Structure 1
Amino acid sequence: MKACTAVLPSKKLVWLMLIVFSLLLESVALIYQYVLDYPPCVVCIQIRILLVAMIVISLIGLLLRAYMFSRFVSLLALLAVCGVSIERSWMLLGTERGFIFGSCGFDLGLPAWLALDEWLPFVFKVQTTCSYTPEIAFGITMAEALLAFFSVMALFIVYLLFVIAKPAE
């Protein structure tokens, strides 16, 4: 069993799972925007950008999974993206619940050379200010679900990092 888990991050399934979960979250966001008519705020769009970053990093990890250094760097980058995503989700939840005062504007804060809102406005254009997120199921809002998802994802990545660090027996 130990020898099997020591190579877990080099398995294609782990990286494909990360890609699929990120794509599913992007798809859910677009369904809520276009089918259920919930326009995205700036924090929602920032989380979408972070999900795209997770997809790109996971693709790199998938392609370079044979090299331990590449797996390690990819997992560290994914952990950093999860950390920023947790912070953004916390901000969204705080704005929604009122324990963080203020609101967000319509500026994504991206540099001019990365104008995602102009290149792909149907995915990355801010359409409203931050106030509330829709309920997904069982009284859980999207902000709560995102916070839980990214927290679990971060724990999973930390686990994978420890699996890499531990030599196979």
Structure 2
Amino acid sequence: MNTNKNKLTSGMTPLHRIAKWPEQKWPWLLLALASSGLVAAALIMQHVQGLNPCVQCIYQRTAMIGVALFAWLGVLAPQNAAIRVVAYVGWIASAWAGLSAANHHLWLQRDANPLFNSCAAFPNFPSWAPLHEWFPSVFAVTGICGDDGWRLMGLNMPEWMQIIFFILLSIAAITLIVRLLYLRKI
């Protein structure tokens, strides 16, 4: 059986293999574990290391949770085209929202007038889903947007999140483009 599989994939180019990724569980699982791990790291940084999240941090966390949830959906049924499309759209939309929040967070820290810049004390979640009230240990705002104390390799938290969300968007775009070009399907 493995010989037949090797014969089928041996003639495929690397781009054809990439085009097949969305139909396999392991890429979705890798995305799900990575994004879930980042959410867990954020919660550890908050509750163990005492780094208080601002409203933009909460928006970025919510976006990463969205990436994780849609990736876990992709893990459930990667062969199902409808589920795959929903997982892709959710992944891209969540990563875009996270990148936007990270960009706004950096603007608040670098370019906004500190006398007039303020970040909200509560996240602006829909009234039908007040996550900060339902799960305050995950979604409550306890910090301010201007706090710039944490650094890793010279970059602060929103800069790292900007890079991470850009990478997530890039992977989604490259995989989708290769898939459309080589397989002519989503």
- 1:79 matched to 2:92? The reply is yes
1:10-47 CA distance string (max 9 Å, x none):
11111111111111211221122112211111111111
TM-score under structure 2 normalisation?
Answer: 0.82
Shift of 1:52: 1.4
- 14-23 or 132-141, larger mean C-alpha shift: 132-141
Partner of 1:40: 53
Partner of 1:11: 24
1:41-93 CA distance string (max 9 Å, x none):
11111111111111111122222210234323421321121111111001111
Partner of 1:130: 145
Q: Number of residue pairs matched? A: 168
Output the CA distance in 2 between the equivalents of 1:117 and 1:83: 21
Partner of 1:100: 112
- 1:60 matched to 2:60? The reply is no
Output the CA distance in 2 between the equivalents of 1:94 and 1:146: 14
The answer (yes or no) to whether the contact 1:22–1:51 under 8 Å persists in 2 is yes
With over 3 angstroms needed to count, the CA separation of the structure-2 counterparts of 1:22 and 1:133, relative to structure 1, is farther
Partner of 2:6: none
Structure number, greater radius of gyration = 2
Output the CA distance in 2 between the equivalents of 1:146 and 1:122: 20
Partner of 1:154: 169
Structure 2 unaligned residues grouped into runs of 5+? 1-11
The answer (yes or no) to whether the contact 2:19–2:176 under 8 Å persists in 1 is no
With over 3 angstroms needed to count, the CA separation of the structure-2 counterparts of 1:95 and 1:105, relative to structure 1, is same
2:124 equivalent among 109, 133, 140: 109
TM-score under structure 1 normalisation?
Answer: 0.90
Structure 1 unaligned residues grouped into runs of 5+? none
Output the CA distance in 2 between the equivalents of 1:56 and 1:144: 23
- 44-53 or 146-155, larger mean C-alpha shift: 44-53
RMSD across aligned positions (CA):
1.9
The answer (yes or no) to whether the contact 2:103–2:158 under 8 Å persists in 1 is yes
Output the CA distance in 2 between the equivalents of 1:76 and 1:37: 34
